[in-house]
Amino acid sequence: MADSTLQFDAIRDAIAAFARGDFLIVLDSPLRENEGDLIISAAHLTPSKASFLIHHSSGYLCAALPSRLADALDLPPMVPASANQDKNRTAYTVTVDAAEGVTTGISATDRALTCRLLGDKSSSAATFRRPGHVVPLRAVEGGVRARQGHTEAAVEFSRLAGLEPAVGIIAEVVETPTDVEGKGGEMTGEHMMRGPALVQFGRKYGILVVTIEDLKKYVEEKEGKL
């Protein structure tokens, strides 16, 4: 259940913002990861936006995409489904970089290019080299109505925003690091950001904050339950 004491934004407003290329902060259930992800469409991830995303997150950028697109791009699961030990059964695929136009693949500029190509309908399997520095994730069929994960939320927002292919880039928001004076480079900010801090972060940067629970309700109201 979402925290009723927090003020979240309307899903329709979030869809419009996502279509413009804005970030969203999307919270999942306290019964699940109880974390918030910054999410943006792959097509809109510029180097400067990638830099913002990396700076305020774990730095581990994932590209959520429909399974059928993963198949078309030859992105098999990182491990067989039967061997997936992730507690939420996140469907990681082999990692990728753009095959051309990048150096090491790890910079904000390089990863932004790789992500944009994942969201480009003209891309093919040959567009990417394996392994790389961007982690594609396979969303389940049925979206957030079938699985209430950030992977499905990113694909759902992309779909609802009319973006094709429906690919969203996600990364977990972390506490803002702060220097600890006189501690030889030590910093605070070791944990994931949650609850009120995520809402405050969103207000600071002008980013709408929504929940997967509200997104699921919106889709069910518009398109029915599975």
Active site residues: 33, 37, 62, 92, 97, 133, 150, 172
Spatial separation of the C-alpha atoms in residues 113 and 133, rounded to whole Å: 11
Residue whose pair of structure tokens reads 């002008």 in the numeric block: 206
Q: What angle do CA 94, 54, 132 make, to 5 degrees?
A: 20
Task: Provide the CB-side half-sphere exposure for 92 (13 A, CA).
Answer: 18
Give the three-state DSSP class for 44. helix
Q: Give the rounded distance of the alpha carbon of 178 from its chain centre.
A: 25
Beta-carbon contacts of residue 15 (< 8 Å; ≥ 6 apart): 157, 160, 161
Buried b / exposed e across 67-88, counting CB within 10 Å, b at 16+? Answer: bebbeebebeebeeeeeeeeee
